[in-house]
Structure 1
Amino acid sequence: MVPEPAITRRRAWHADESAVREKPSYATSVRVVFLHHTNHSNDYDCREDVPEMLRSMQGHHLDEGWDDLGYNFVVDRCGNIYEGRAGGVDRAVRGSHTKGFNAGSAGIAALGHFEKGERVPRPMLDAIAALVAWKLSPGVDPKGRVRMVSSSDVSRYPKGSRVRLDVISGHRDGDETTCPGAALYQELPWLRETVARLRQGRRVR
């Protein structure tokens, strides 16, 4: 069993629970993880700035018509993990992060901007790896692929399309976007290998 990493809960960053529109909905498992970036500046202070950034994101997503913060988790540049969408960190909560593929997946957002030429901080990558290793359902191969069915015509794939996706994918793999940025996207092979080692109880190099 992979231990649960330290996760800062919603009450600690003062999520606006009164603004949440619907009760959480759930899948039976988490078969895919989609990596995102939030397009914030990378020079924020992890202690002072992040809670307000999260509250602002929640408000923006609510203004977009979503029920709550879209991402299941957010990870900052210092390696701190935050609970995103409400419903329980240990459950397969359906988020609003990857059009067509929100069911049976988890959306993890890296707080910052990671296009070509940017550097993804190692504490952030280590935290994402630990989170994914814990969050994927038992029996799911982090280096494998799974078949999913698109539920939206505004995703990269028309509704009803059967698509094979990497278990650890970028947002761009399911939607028409450049997210999570070229710098973070090129770290996905490292993440797959590292998550596999963590789930096998092996030391990470």
Structure 2
Amino acid sequence: MWSRRIVLSAGVVLLASLVLRDAPHRPARPEPVTVAPGVPRPPIVSRKAWRANEGMVREGATYTGTVSAVFVHHTGHLNSYDCADAPRMLRAMQEDHIKSEGWDDIGYNFVVDRCGTIYEGRAGGVGRPVQGAHTKGFNADSIGVAALGTFGPGTTVPPALEASIVKVAAWRLRPGADPRGTVRLLSANDESRYRKGESAELHVIAGHRDSFRTDCPGDVLYERLPAIREAVFRLRKR
């Protein structure tokens, strides 16, 4: 999650902690796009469309293996935002992640707003295995999908937002992955719930809290993960 406070026109928004990226792996060229057969790419608002500041990006994309896990996050913003303001909120996030946190770019691979709009996050190609900075210790071979908002007790998960998380996960998971199952990943550092080099058995579609000591993605969204897994499974079986 995002970890600082910024001032938006709607007021002060609550932010939560993101995480450092793992050790980089930079092949000469990106791996080819690998998606589940028959799962269409959902509509995605490009970085150009939300006016990401490409001049601010410090290094080119890092690529890892095909996507074996999807980590679901929330950004910590107030849920009362107007969806028309989402591009501006993403630009503010990008600036904070780069200038304040010291990362190369925005940390999440995808961001979904409460109206169900999916935004391209980190640069490098939405269909490529771009290594993000979303889940400390487990940024390799995974993607981070962030729900724009906060989903602690007393909140609700908008159906359109949930449906778009399902679409992204179904499209980006590697062929053969069971979204209802588990996957073993090696921890890349000692700052997650697992020691560096330790093999962790995690849900293929996991919440940030499964691998890191955090409340992310909020109790309410976390409780929706079983339903999200089932929906992803059904979409990939069509």
Match of 2:66 among 7, 29, 40: 29
Secondary structure of residue in 1 paired with 2:119: strand
What do residues 41-65 of structure 1 show as CA deviations (whole Å, max 9, x unaligned)? 1011112x11110000001111201
Match of 1:38 in 2: 75
Aligned-pair CA distance for 1:117? 1.6
Is residue 151 of structure 1 aligned with residue 177 of structure 2? Answer: no
Match of 1:179 in 2: 216
The one-letter amino acid of 1:55's match is R
Match of 2:90 in 1: 54
Residues 90-129 of structure 1: pairs in structure 2 closer than 5 A: 90-129=127-166
The one-letter amino acid of 1:191's match is I
Secondary structure of residue in 2 paired with 1:4: coil
CA distance, structure 2, for counterparts of residue 200 and residue 16 of structure 1: 38
CA distance, structure 1, for counterparts of residue 181 and residue 235 of structure 2: 15
How does the TM-score come out when normalised to structure 1?
A: 0.96
Aligned-pair CA distance for 1:28? 2.1
Aligned-pair CA distance for 1:155? 1.1
CA distance, structure 1, for counterparts of residue 52 and residue 193 of structure 2: 31
Do the aligned partners of 2:117 and 2:164 also contact (CA within 8 Å) in 1? yes
What do residues 132-165 of structure 1 show as CA deviations (whole Å, max 9, x unaligned)? 1001011111011010000011111111111000
What do residues 55-113 of structure 1 show as CA deviations (whole Å, max 9, x unaligned)? 00001111201110000000000000000000000001000000000000000000001
Aligned-pair CA distance for 1:193? 0.3
Unaligned runs of 5+ in 1: none
Is residue 4 of structure 1 aligned with residue 9 of structure 2? Answer: no
The one-letter amino acid of 1:29's match is T
Secondary structure of residue in 2 paired with 1:7: coil
CA distance, structure 2, for counterparts of residue 112 and residue 65 of structure 1: 23
Residue identity (%) = 57
Unaligned runs of 5+ in 2: 1-37
Residues 57-96 of structure 1: pairs in structure 2 closer than 5 A: 57-62=93-98, 63-96=100-133
CA distance, structure 2, for counterparts of residue 175 and residue 74 of structure 1: 20
CA distance, structure 1, for counterparts of residue 96 and residue 198 of structure 2: 30
Q: What is the alpha-carbon root mean square deviation over aligned residues?
A: 0.6
CA distance, structure 1, for counterparts of residue 195 and residue 161 of structure 2: 33
The one-letter amino acid of 1:193's match is E
Q: How many residues align?
A: 200
CA distance, structure 1, for counterparts of residue 95 and residue 213 of structure 2: 24
CA distance, structure 2, for counterparts of residue 69 and residue 152 of structure 1: 21
Which stretch shows the higher mean deviation, 19-28 or 30-39? 19-28
Do the aligned partners of 2:65 and 2:140 also contact (CA within 8 Å) in 1? no
The one-letter amino acid of 1:52's match is R
